[in-house]
Homo-oligomer: A and B are copies of this chain.
C-alpha cells in the first residue's frame, strides 16, 4: 500500500515537474552542437508541413563561394549545414514562430569525385558534435529529394546574405 502511494506521489510529482519545466520559456533540452555553430549564415526557412524552423549555415569554403556567386556548382570542400528546430509560438508574441527543441543538424558535403554518384554531394548528420556520414540507404533518400534542384547544384537554399 505504502509503495503504491509512493509510486503515485512520484508519478504526480514527475508530471508536475515536467509541466513546470514545459511552462518555462527556455527550451527543455540542452543539445551538444557541432562545429556548425561557429559557421556563418546562408539562409533561414520555415517548413510548414514539418512544423520546423531551419537555419542553413556554411563553412568558410561555402560562404566564400556564395559571396563570389560561385555556387553552380559549389566548390569541393564546401559544407552546408541544415540546423533544424521544432517550432513553437513565442510565449510573449504568438504571431512569432520561434524555435522550441533542437531537432537535428544535417550536412551536405561537396566532393565531386568522392560523391559523384549522388550529384557530388555526401549526406551526413551530426550526432552531438560528431559529423557522421549517412548510410547508403539514407543518403539515397536525401539525394532523391534534392534531384529536382539539379540545375542549382542540388541545393534548395538561395543565398540570402549575399
**A residues engaging B (CB < 8 A)?**
25-27, 30, 33, 37-41, 43-50, 53-55, 57, 83, 85, 87, 90, 92-93, 95-99, 102, 148-149, 152, 156-158, 160-162
Contacts and interface: CB of A to CB of B under 8 A. Distances in A.
B98 A45 contact: yes
Contacts of A49: 95
A104 to B, nearest CB: 13
Number of copies of this kind of chain in the complex: 2
B97 A46 contact: yes
Given A45-B53, A46-B96, A48-B96, 12 more contacts: A37-B40, A40-B40, A41-B41, A43-B99, A44-B54, A45-B99, A46-B53, A46-B97, A49-B95, A83-B161, A92-B148, A99-B158
Contacts of A156: 90, 92-93, 96
A44 B55 contact: yes
**Highest count of chain B CB atoms <10 Å: which of A39, A45, A83, A149:** A45
26 contacts: A26-B158, A27-B158, A30-B162, A33-B161, A33-B162, A37-B41, A39-B40, A40-B40, A41-B83, A44-B98, A45-B90, A45-B97, A45-B98, A45-B99, A46-B87, A46-B97, A47-B97, A85-B160, A90-B156, A92-B156, A93-B156, A98-B157, A98-B158, A98-B160, A99-B160, A102-B160
